[in-house]
Chains A and B, each alone.
Chain A
Amino acid sequence: MKTNTLFPRADIIGFAVLAVVIFLLLPAVLDSFRLNLFGKYLTYAFVAVGLALCWGAGGILSLGQGVFFGLGGYCMAMFLKLEASTPENTAIQSTPGIPDFMDWNQLTALPWWWEPFYSLPFTILAVVMVPVVFAFVIGVAMFKRRVGGVYFAIITQAFAAILTILIIGQQGFTGGVNGITDLRTLWGWDIRTDEAKEILYYVNGVLLFAVLFAAQFVRKSKLGRLLIAMRDQEDRVRFSGYDVASFKIFIFCLGAAFAGIGGAMFTLQVGFMSPTLVGIVPSIEMVIFCAVGGRLSILGAVYGALVVNWAKTTFSESFPELWLLGLGGLFIAVVMLFPNGLAGIWSEQIAPRLTKLISKNTNPATGQGAPAE
């Protein structure tokens, strides 16, 4: 009988390799500027892992994950902005003590819904709960009515457009197209220094692993197998006695929670949040991270986010106008040639050859093949 442990051997190796890459390899070879960049890339990995569950396992394609990333990011940015807007720092404003963009937009008092963001515990809760509540509302409205497939994708895309327009339009409350900038300290701790950025990189890594463990738990539970069943035969699942909508809502909310955490870590590491990170284009890019990494694999999603973002930085440094074409080409190539992405190349091409190699080179009595790096 097949045992169904949480971590089969191959997954342990995969997690360990990723831990080595994130916690040892990258910090060792990158200077602090580049390390911060990779920290930023890894915040997208949170979204990609959520998409691997929603889309890869459950077949729910959301083209609006930027919404949840943005909501998490904005919650964190609001807290940081309030902390940066002390009366002393903002003494030259006509209303000191409120964020600068509000003053520029002739607001004379802090809106009531900004008030709770003076509290860090509330903010941390909001980073997760605001995206989850929003996803829950969308999920109930869509999945209970059995809206799915391409219609769902289009509607989520519309939400990404709506939120961007809303943020840009409500300049006085949101900072408009510039976003929320000039963030300085977290509970008095300056987040702009190199040391702070390095610490935030590690915090980000630890949180990413927490999210990966949660995703692994879901994937290996009966719910994970149910998602696969739903993807292939949604109708049949109902006749196995499951309310399909509630499972879709759950996984969509979980993906939103992951994305929210990623967004908050983005704000902390990059030092601002803006509507350009929320809209349609970033939302589609997030799907590409997941597709390139391999939408069936949560670890693949992390590598996808890293590789695509690294390529984006590298290529747009040298050929800024060609990058978008390159990204499109990459997406087409992955879909046509490697539908299971990097993870598929690994598990279908490299891993079998590696196992052959290892079993040839090691004494079967000891059976110890060195895990490949």
Chain B
Amino acid sequence: MNKMNDKFLLRVEGLTVSFDGFKAVNDLSFYVEPNECRVIIGPNGAGKTTVLDLICGRTKATDGSVKFKGQELLEMREDQIVHAGVGRKFQTPSVYEDLTVFENLELSYPKGHGVFGALTFKRDEAVKSRIKEIAATIFLDGMLEEKAAYLSHGQKQWLEIGMLLIQDPELLMLDEPVAGMSVAERKKTAELLNRIIKDRSVIVIEHDMGFVEDIATRVTVLHQGKTLSEGSMERVQNDPKVIEVYLGH
């Protein structure tokens, strides 16, 4: 089953989803290599977020195939996809507001995910030190006992990134990680993302072109559910089709 010599970590082939006849993603194919940072850009309604939803199992595909390390993700449940090594950050910060920062990170710690595992889960030193380490990375080490509901918008975004980091996924998918942040927060986040995208593959949706230029290995431009252009940032920026539908205005 497992293709050991597969050059690609993720193979998306012929991916299609149709909502009542409207094809939000239409026969889309792309491939992500290990350690690659792929940025998906495109105008509103191009299907960027839907692509991530399809990969992580949130939306069921109508047709096509998504293979991650040789495993077909389209046949798996969301939690199984997470365990396979795919992490997802949502566009609006989604953290557990009634729980503390510590508890939010603890729930994401990759241990005790079955019913009895969760019942007997022990908060041992390894867990605590890992949580502290992650909290320091996401600038929240002083706020472990704070309820997530009382964090600022930017801090919630960081916390959610931290919840992904603690899972240590091989493929990290980020949906507009700097949207809605203040300038200062944005700078800190860019620095954080630059640090964490090393040693893993990342798919990022982002509108901020400066930011994209900074992090992207390759860029995929989506338009009406299809690939409009793909390649290095420089190549994409000079593609007349891209300039017409997206960058031009």
Contact = CB atoms under 8 A, between A and B. Distances in A.
A235 B95 CA distance: 11
Contacts of A225: 99, 103, 106-107
User: Which of A2, A233, A239, A244 has most chain B Cβ within 10 Å?
Assistant: A239
Contact of B118 (A226, A228, A231): A226
B33 interface: no
A135 B83 CA distance: 28
Contact of B98 (A217, A232, A241): A232
A349 B82 CA distance: 43
A325 B87 CA distance: 52
Nearest to A249: B115
Contacts of A246: 114-115
B8 interface: no
B239 interface: no
Contacts of A238: 57, 77-79, 82
Contacts, number: 89
A242 B79 contact: yes
Nearest to A246: B115
Interface residues of B, number: 38
A171 B50 CA distance: 56
Interface stretch (B13-21, B119-127, B226-234): B119-127
B241 to A, nearest CB: 34
A232 B96 CA distance: 7
A222 B107 contact: yes
A1 B167 CA distance: 22
A247 B82 contact: no
Contacts of A241: 79, 82-83, 108, 110, 113, 167
A49 to B, nearest CB: 17
B146 to A, nearest CB: 11
Contact of B56 (A217, A226, A229, A239): A239
A240 B115 contact: no
Interface string A205-249: 000000000000110011101101101110111111111101100
A270 B75 CA distance: 53
B121 A221 contact: yes
Interface string B36-47: 000000000000
B68 interface: no
Given A222-B106, A241-B167, A236 B119 contact: no
Contacts of A231: 98
B156 to A, nearest CB: 12
Contact of A233 (B56, B83, B94): B94
B97 A240 contact: no
B60 interface: no
B133 interface: no
Contacts of A244: 79
A318 interface: no
B51 interface: no
Interface in A298-354: none
Given A228-B96, A229-B107, A240 B112 contact: no
A250 interface: yes
A217 B57 CA distance: 33
A106 interface: no
Please name the 10 residue pairs, one residue from A and one from B, whose CB atoms are nearest each other, closest first: A241-B82, A238-B78, A222-B121, A223-B118, A229-B96, A236-B94, A222-B118, A250-B115, A243-B79, A240-B108
17 contacts: A1-B128, A222-B107, A226-B107, A228-B96, A228-B99, A229-B99, A232-B96, A236-B94, A238-B79, A239-B87, A240-B82, A240-B167, A241-B83, A241-B167, A242-B113, A243-B79, A243-B113
